[in-house]
Chain A
């Protein structure tokens, strides 16, 4: 299509003539001034930038790394997850979903320009463990949960599964707006041509993985996102992942192992699932494995979640009485247990959760999760390093976001490049 040599007899050729190959109409460095490097991951790198032509605000530019960094870069085909993320972000528009500004395809790289968010939930949770644990104020928890559910409701109403909800992927702007980010694993679930399972065999960071996925379910639903939202709610309260299991690695035969340790962590808090409460349980591929798990309590004693909840919301009260999460009360427990419900069909949907009395009792929910905190709560700004400001080349080895011990989370994405 784009010959390297111009045939001699076409004086009319000019502009986007075929001899020069694909050329982007806009150049990322002409439009944006990179301020620094934010983070890197399996997909590539994220930079902080400002506009050069009076675009208001700050931006986060996600650069998808070409397959071979360093060497002569070749076009190898865009990964399916990048294609999904580009398509979904171009289509989505909601105040609680991170906003895409533009996508620039240039020099064999993809640059996705997003609105910038100063914080994320991982960072906020981490801040509350320093120097000693002090709870996130109840009004903040409530507002974050409402906004997070609102974003989920929008995604699900539009047939989008996020599939990777976790604190690091939930952004918060400096004005306290929650924005669901990183749609790299998201996909449409209306009439998939193949079962959702066949595409990417392992989905969602293990600590937030729903029990039906752990038990080998292949046909999953928006309920998997709602389980993750439940885990995030618990983490906002206790400042630790509620089910912090260890991931069993894939064996040499590339079969997906039963995540025994993760399932065990869940069972320890909410008890073993039963077929009485979850009729489809017996159809789960890994169902036989359940009997090999030990319930820390007697098998019939059920869930310890209520105990977990009250001891969590009460534990901080001795040191910081006024902002104690005790005020989240019984409705907080009911919401949590509705989200951490074993049976995906009974688990609260985003729509149901938004209408939960948790949000209509007590203080009014604010659309700014920092409202009322005044100057007493100042969250640290996102770290922006100056090591790698060259968005064009950047052949430096990836540096993980530093200073956040909890960020060393298992990242599970099967390599999809080329397809």
Chain B
């Protein structure tokens, strides 16, 4: 329910395994193979990054991050049910923002969203508010009206005191959570798992007042540092190793805490690897190509009309 993730529709209906998610997507593509062949698209990871386009609209409207996060999750849920080539992604993005703002109690009038949508994507967006209204029906229907979303931000807020995070560490963890909305992670893991992953990475990256200290270190190094902490947690948990004395570092403290908790450490490992590969993918990400491929099917199929 609203305050209880365990009984929420999010946990019951919108949390998938990787295989389930892959099957859903395969099924969508198989429904219309001609369409898929006619309009090749970049891989899901790149498309996911492209949806972050919504930030442009969000900035124009002055939407707060939590509502943006909700919108991103709506988009992700929607495209687990609907083949993207049947839609105008720009309209879907704007509609998700419009709906998420209502849910997160910071509503914007439909006319404002439509006109800012047009300002953001002038070639792909009409001023017609009824298009946005129609897409809202589509979006809500595909989500079965399950619009209450649990976000990792709240878990982060309550965990940051437990691990005595500095302001910089919290801010970094927060931005890692922002980034995870550009991946499949919110469809794969519980919000508290994401929050712990973000704290772990923030601690491993060791930010200080002058910026991220280990910014130069490669993703590989970060991954191995994170994994070292997690495998020590696993060993402690399995009783192979008792924590010796008080934890000396925050990372150790987190590892000990994890060992004592009921949280699945495998999930944290998995989650950490996923976000690290996201950061790697992001470096090769070709925005121009992604945009061209999306714009091609939107225009060719007249989806912007």
A positions within 8 Å CB-CB of B: 1-5, 7, 10-18, 21-22, 24-25, 74-78, 80, 83-84, 86-93, 103, 105, 108, 157-160, 187-188, 190-194, 199, 416, 418-419
Q: 9 A–B contact pairs at CB < 8 A?
A: A5-B305, A7-B301, A18-B303, A75-B132, A77-B98, A84-B103, A90-B146, A93-B1, A418-B110
| B residues in contact with A193, CB < 8 Å | 64, 66-67, 104-106
| B residues in contact with A191, CB < 8 Å | 154
| A residues in contact with B38, CB < 8 Å | 10, 12
Given contacts A77-B136, A87-B148, A105-B140, contact A158 B2 (CB under 8 A): yes
| B residues in contact with A17, CB < 8 Å | 86
SS of A interface (majority): loop
Q: Is A77 within 8 A of B103, CB to CB?
A: no
Q: Is A22 within 8 A of B301, CB to CB?
A: no
| B residues in contact with A10, CB < 8 Å | 35, 38, 301
Contact partner of A418 (CB less than 8 A), chosen from B87, B104, B111, is B111
| B residues in contact with A83, CB < 8 Å | 99, 102-103, 147
Total interface residues in chain B, CB < 8 Å: 56
Given contacts A3-B303, A75-B134, A75-B136, contact A103 B110 (CB under 8 A): no
Docked pose: A118 CA to B144 CA in angstroms: 27
Given contacts A76-B129, A90-B145, A193-B67, contact A160 B2 (CB under 8 A): yes
Q: Is B9 within 8 A of A91, CB to CB?
A: yes
Contacting A at CB under 8 A, from B52-107, are 64, 66-67, 86-88, 91-92, 98-99, 102-107
Docked pose: A413 CA to B302 CA in angstroms: 40
Q: Is B303 within 8 A of A74, CB to CB?
A: no
Q: Give the distance to chain B from A366, nearest Cβ to Cβ, in Å.
A: 26
| A residues in contact with B304, CB < 8 Å | 1
Per-residue CB proximity of B252-293 to A under 8 Å, as 1/0?
Answer: 000000000000000000000000000000000000000000
Considering the complex, give the chain B residue whose CB is closest to the CB of A417.
B110
Cβ of B138 within 8 Å of any chain A Cβ, yes or no, is yes
Contacting A at CB under 8 A, from B1-15, are 1-4, 7-9
Residue from B92, B106, B145, B301 whose CB has the most chain A CB atoms within 10 Å? B145
| B residues in contact with A18, CB < 8 Å | 86-87, 301-303
Q: Give the distance to chain B from A109, nearest Cβ to Cβ, in Å.
A: 10
Q: Give the distance to chain A from B4, nearest Cβ to Cβ, in Å.
A: 7
Docked pose: A252 CA to B194 CA in angstroms: 51
Docked pose: A331 CA to B189 CA in angstroms: 49
| B residues in contact with A103, CB < 8 Å | 140, 144-145
Considering the complex, give the chain B residue whose CB is closest to the CB of A187.
B105
Residue from B1, B32, B88 whose CB has the most chain A CB atoms within 10 Å? B1
Docked pose: A416 CA to B108 CA in angstroms: 11
Cβ of B43 within 8 Å of any chain A Cβ, yes or no, is no
Contact partner of A88 (CB less than 8 A), chosen from B99, B148, B305, is B148
Residue from B8, B38, B98, B302 whose CB has the most chain A CB atoms within 10 Å? B302
Q: Is B2 within 8 A of A21, CB to CB?
A: no
| B residues in contact with A90, CB < 8 Å | 9, 144-148
Docked pose: A78 CA to B244 CA in angstroms: 58
| A residues in contact with B35, CB < 8 Å | 10, 12-13
| A residues in contact with B87, CB < 8 Å | 1, 18
Per-residue CB proximity of B104-142 to A under 8 Å, as 1/0?
Answer: 111111110000000000000000011111111110110
User: Nearest 7 A-B pairs (CB), nearest first?
Assistant: A75-B133, A12-B34, A77-B110, A87-B147, A3-B305, A3-B302, A1-B88
| A residues in contact with B34, CB < 8 Å | 11-12
Q: Is B134 within 8 A of A21, CB to CB?
A: yes
Considering the complex, give the chain B residue whose CB is closest to the CB of A21.
B134
| B residues in contact with A13, CB < 8 Å | 32, 35
Docked pose: A11 CA to B144 CA in angstroms: 30
Docked pose: A7 CA to B3 CA in angstroms: 47
| A residues in contact with B111, CB < 8 Å | 418
| B residues in contact with A15, CB < 8 Å | 31
Considering the complex, give the chain A residue whose CB is closest to the CB of B108.
A419
Q: Is B148 within 8 A of A91, CB to CB?
A: yes
Q: Give the distance to chain B from A111, nearest Cβ to Cβ, in Å.
A: 11
Considering the complex, give the chain A residue whose CB is closest to the CB of B111.
A418
Q: Is B107 within 8 A of A86, CB to CB?
A: no
- Knowing that A90-B146, A91-B146, A191-B154 touch, tell me 4 more A-B residue pairs with CB under 8 angstroms: A22-B137, A75-B129, A76-B129, A91-B2
Cβ of B209 within 8 Å of any chain A Cβ, yes or no, is no
Considering the complex, give the chain B residue whose CB is closest to the CB of A188.
B2
Docked pose: A416 CA to B107 CA in angstroms: 10
Given contacts A83-B102, A158-B3, A193-B106, contact A1 B131 (CB under 8 A): yes
